[in-house]
Amino acid sequence: MAAACRLLDAGSQVTLVEKRPYLGGRAFSFTDPATGQEVDNGQHIFLGCCVYYIDFLKRLGAFEQARLQPKMRAPVLSPSRGAGLLSAAPLPKPLHLLPSFLSYRLLGFKDKALALYALVKIALTDRTRPALAQESFGGWLRRHRQTRRSIDNFWNLIVKPCVNDDVDDVTAAMAIMVFQEGLLRTRGGSRIGYARVGLSKLMGDAAQEYIEARQGRILGGRTAVSLQSDGRRISGALLSDGSAVRGDAYVSALPWNELASILGPELEGQPFFQPMKGLKAAPIVNVHLWYDRQVMDEEFIALVDSPLQWVFNKTAILGRDDSGEQWVTISLSAAFEYVDKPKKALEDSFVAAMAEAFPRARDAKVKRVLVVKQNRATFRCVAGSERLRPTAKTPVENLFLAGDWTDTGWPSTMEGAVRSGDAAAEAVAGSFPP
Ligand SMILES: Cc1cc2nc3c(=O)[nH]c(=O)nc-3n(C[C@H](O)[C@H](O)[C@H](O)COP(=O)(O)OP(=O)(O)OC[C@H]3O[C@@H](n4cnc5c(N)ncnc54)[C@H](O)[C@@H]3O)c2cc1C
């Protein structure tokens, strides 16, 4: 979507082929038949440092339908030890987080002192050092004397939802990037944002309108099945309905495994397209609960000492008045242990976990439960994965790559996706003589 919009802005004629009947890819929403409500395939958040994504929403005219906190504020709850708060103070960066960090109740004095030492180290680290792309962040944290408590109650609290992997799996390079860009580089970078409408309305529908208003052509419900080429140039893309699309340049914004399956005999053996096959995916599970009453007050809350990771108050976020009822979404990142479990088992354990964390949930009636599993939610930023991510420009003269998994320097995020689309559009423009 980002590549198509950029190319249209630059005056190109664009045809966008999408296998599903709607745009939005892995960030979409659907109507829950039981409640009639618009449910996201997974709660998506963005941060103030996601400047390409924010700009994309603004260009689509969709930013008004999202909320970005004026200053960072993240309430944290431990069912056994009470509440904590991470928030930004009116101080110059990187000191803006210091007051709330010092008063953060879920870490002890020693945890905090050592965590501050690690944050200073992170601020001063060149994250492009090759060794950091091979080491896990967990290893890096332990090497920098971080306590188990600070790993659980601070580092993983941030890394897991941002990168969809545990600190012990994600590379030190990518986790350091998250802290440098999100927390330390600017005061506003860590502000949290989210959609106030269903994701399809926010992005897919808005992008479709944008593209069609500029005479872009969208071929929805059609799959690209094969690229025709002589190994040096693409001459067409064959679609599932038997038709072919032809153009001067071709941008693939497919996930890597889908791209590998359509390359065709002339391209599939080329060295450039081999490394991407080594990328791995990680799952996300969302458990939606509709209560007969209000069980939480905040718009979202992060949890420690609990299987609940982040809980979102969808009733408040979407501004709905449901006559006192409340819809909450439990967002479970790096959900390897949950993705294959029966939905009923997840329902039982997360209803119980909610009751443990939120006293008002104990007497509340759960009117509906919906479990949404996304097996291949994000690509994994694990040791060695950085060198598997290709550039937008390929050795094939008129083939360009986009997708969050390409070489953006970002984890699997909407920000990475928009950056990749912009980079692909720029590479297309650069391939034509002025
Ligand atoms: C549950 C969940 C939660 C997430 N949470 C967050 C979050 O909080 N914050 C965040 O920033 N990111 C989050 N993400 C990640 C984010 O959704 C992705 O990074 C982003 O959507 C990737 O966009 P993309 O365009 O690179 O790929 P995709 O969205 O995967 O788009 C690829 C498109 O190609 C289409 N396609 C595939 N094969 C073909 C073919 N052969 N022919 C035609 N079309 C084809 C697909 O239908 C799809 O529309 C989450 C993802 C999931 C699943």
Q: Tell me the CA–centroid distance for residue 197 and ligand 1, in Å.
A: 18
| 250 within some domain | yes
pLDDT tens digits, residue range 202-234?
Answer: 999 999 999 999 999 999 999 999 999 999 999
How far is Cα 338 from Cα 216, in angstroms, rounded to an integer? 41
- The residue whose CA has the least distance to atom 37 of ligand 1 is 254
Residues 6 or more apart whose CB falls under 8 angstroms from that of 224 comprise 17, 19, 237, 238, 239, 240, 245, 254, 262
Query: Is the pTM of the predicted complex or chain greater than 0.85?
Result: yes
Check if 25 has its Cβ closer than 6 Å to any atom of ligand 1: yes
Asked if the model's pLDDT at residue 107 lies above 90, the reply is yes
Distance of CA 206 to the CA centre of its chain: 19
**Same domain, yes or no: 176 and 205:** no
Looking at the chain, the whole-number percentage of residues with pLDDT higher than 70 is 100
The span from the CA of 364 to the CA of 427, in Å, is 55
Across 107-148, where does the E strand assignment appear? none
Q: How many separate domains does the chain show?
A: 3
Whether 301 and 220 map to the same domain: the answer is no
- Reported as a single tens digit per residue, the pLDDT across 8-24 is 999 999 999 999 999 99
Name the domain boundary from 190, 219, 234. 190
251 and 209 assigned to the same domain: yes
Same domain, 272 and 392: yes
Ligand 1 pocket test, pick from 26, 52, 262 with the greatest ligand atom count within 8 Å of Cβ, gives 26
Integer Cα distance of 152 and 149 in angstroms: 5
pLDDT at residue 126 is higher than 80: yes
Model confidence pLDDT, tens digit, residues 337-374: 999 999 999 999 999 999 999 999 999 999 999 999 99
Q: What whole-number distance in Å separates Cα of residue 238 and Cα of residue 355? A: 53
Mean pLDDT, the chain, whole residue set: 96
Atom index in ligand 1 nearest the CA of residue 23 equals 49
Q: Mind listing the pLDDT tens digit for each residue in 311-327?
A: 999 999 999 766 799 99
Nearest-atom number in ligand 1 for the CA of 404 is: 26
Nearest CA to ligand 1 atom 10: 413
Residue 131 lies in a domain: yes
The answer to whether residue 14 sits within a structural domain is yes
* CATH number of the structural domain spanning residue 319: 3.90.660.10
Determine if ligand 1 sits within 6 Å of the CB of residue 181: no
Residue 287: CB within 6 Å of ligand 1?
no
In a domain, 127, yes or no: yes
Same domain, 214 and 80: no
Shared domain for 297 and 362, answered yes or no, is yes
Q: Where are the beta strands (DSSP E) in 335-408?
A: 366-379, 399-401
* CA angle at 59 for the pair 58 and 61, rounded to the nearest 5°: 65
Residues with Cβ within 8 Å of 397's Cβ and at least 6 positions away in sequence, in order, are: 232, 233, 431
pLDDT in tens, 55-94: 999 999 999 999 999 999 999 999 999 999 999 888 888 8
Tell me, in angstroms, the distance from the centre of ligand 1 to residue 417's CA. 8
| Ligand 1 proximity of 411 Cβ (cutoff 6 Å) | no
Select from 190, 223, 241 the last residue of a domain: 190
Q: Cβ(8)–Cβ(60) under 8 Å?
A: no
The answer to whether residues 261 and 398 belong to one domain is: yes
Report the CATH number at residue 129: 1.10.405
Is 100 a residue whose pLDDT tops 90?
no
Give me the CATH number covering residue 389.
3.50.50.60
Last residue of a domain, one of 363, 379, 395: 379
Q: Is the CB of 377 under 6 A from ligand 1?
A: yes
Helix ranges, 220-311 (H)? 256-262, 265-268
In a domain, 434, yes or no: no
76: domain range?
A: 70-190
Q: Are residues 46 and 186 in the same domain?
A: no
- Which residue puts its alpha carbon closest to atom 29 of ligand 1? 25
If one counts every other C-beta atom within 10 angstroms of the C-beta of residue 138, the result is 20
Q: How far is it, in rounded angstroms, from Cα 320 to Cα 20?
A: 29
Whether residue 419 sits in one domain with residue 309 = no
pLDDT in tens, 246-277: 999 999 999 999 999 999 999 999 999 999 99
pLDDT for res 322: 63
Same domain, 205 and 173: no
Determine, yes or no, domain membership for 132.
yes
Residue to mutate (ligand 1; options 251, 414, 422; most atoms within 8 A of CB): 414
Q: What would the pLDDT profile of 147-159 be if each residue is shown by its tens digit? A: 999 999 999 999 9
Handedness of CA 344, 348, 351, 353 (dihedral sign): negative
**317 belongs to a structural domain:** yes
Cβ–ligand 1 distance for 42 under 6 Å, the answer yes
Output DSSP code: residue 253: -
The length of the chain in residues reads: 434
Do residues 29 and 40 touch, judged by C-beta distance below 8 A?
yes
Whether residue 262 is found in the same domain as residue 392: yes
Same structural domain, 121 and 185: yes
